[in-house]
Each structure stands twice: as structure tokens, then as C-alpha cells.
Amino acid sequence: MSAWPEVRTSTIFCTAAIMAEAPVLVDTGYLVALINRKDLLHPQAKTLARTWEKSGRQLLTTDGVLIEFANFFARSPLRMLALEWIRRIRAGTPGWIVDRLTPRMIERAEARYGAHPDKGWSLTDCLSMESMLDHGSKEAATPDRHFVQAGFRILMTTSP
């Protein structure tokens, strides 16, 4: 697949043995930064990808994140690259967990969303937060401070 080498890393697709620690949630902001070289967070995303590849760290994402990722690139030249990544992640790439949307998971995300009207959390954020709780995750590959508000640690920052 010619689109993969453009990113110049086998990146987030871990092939090493999976470690026993909780997976890192991979959010939309990380995926966008990883494939978009013009994104200010691209260097941070690549550094994280290399670190996880070496350590075999397990990565977690959700259907909601993958949908949001595709939507972000809907009118972009990177549209097909994003789709290719989604397909590879879903194809059972070692080291990846994709939490599927289920009626129960949607209900839980909606309950979290409704319980925090003072927050700017998106429904996708709430879905990811619920998934993190299910998997014992404490860290999210995202610059989204909403995860900090919910008690998680973010691994990317937009500030110097």
C-alpha cells in the first residue's frame, strides 16, 4: 500500500509483544496529527508512535473516534489515506483494540454527556472516556483537555 510509507513509520501499528499495562486511548487529534505532516502536533504524534512501536504498548480506540477521523478528512487530499488507516486498524492490526459501538456503550456515553452539561465534552469524547474506564486506561493520545477534566492524562500538548 503506497499510502503507508508516506508517513515514514510503521507507526502506531505495534508488532512487538503487547505489554501488560493498560492500553493508551488513541483519539482523533492524535490520528489527524500523525497522518497530516502540516499539523503542529505531527512531531509529537510521530514520537509517541515510535515509542509505542518499540515498547509494544497496546492502543485503544473506538468506532466513534474512527468515524470522527474520517469526517475530519472528508474534503481533504488525505481522505483516502485516512480510510486506509481505518481499514488497517479495523483489520485486526496487532496491538490495537477497537471498541465497537453497541447500544449499551452509546447509552453509557449519553449518560456521561448528560451528567456533565457544564463541560464541552463531545459525545465522542464521552464514548472514549467510557471505553477507557472499561479497559483501565489512564492515558489518552490527544491534546484535548476535556480528558484532563475527566481525570485522565493527555499525552499531547498544544502549548510550548
DSSP state of 141: E
Q: Which of 9-13, 35-39, 155-159 has the lowest mean pLDDT?
A: 9-13
128: alpha, beta or left? (left if phi > 0; alpha if psi -120 to 50): alpha
Q: What is the mean pLDDT of residues 75-87?
A: 96
CB 95 within 8 A of CB 18: yes
Domain boundaries along the sequence of the chain? 3-100+137-148
pLDDT digits (tens, 9 = 90+) for 149-158: 999 999 999 8
- What letter does residue 111 receive in the DSSP assignment? H
Whether 16 shows a pLDDT value over 70: the answer reads no
> What's this model's pTM, rounded to 2 decimal places?
0.85
Percent with pLDDT over 90 in the chain: 82
pLDDT attached to residue 160: 63
Give me 115's grid cell.
451528567
Is residue 72 pLDDT above 60, yes or no? yes
Given a cut of 50, is residue 138 above it in pLDDT?
yes
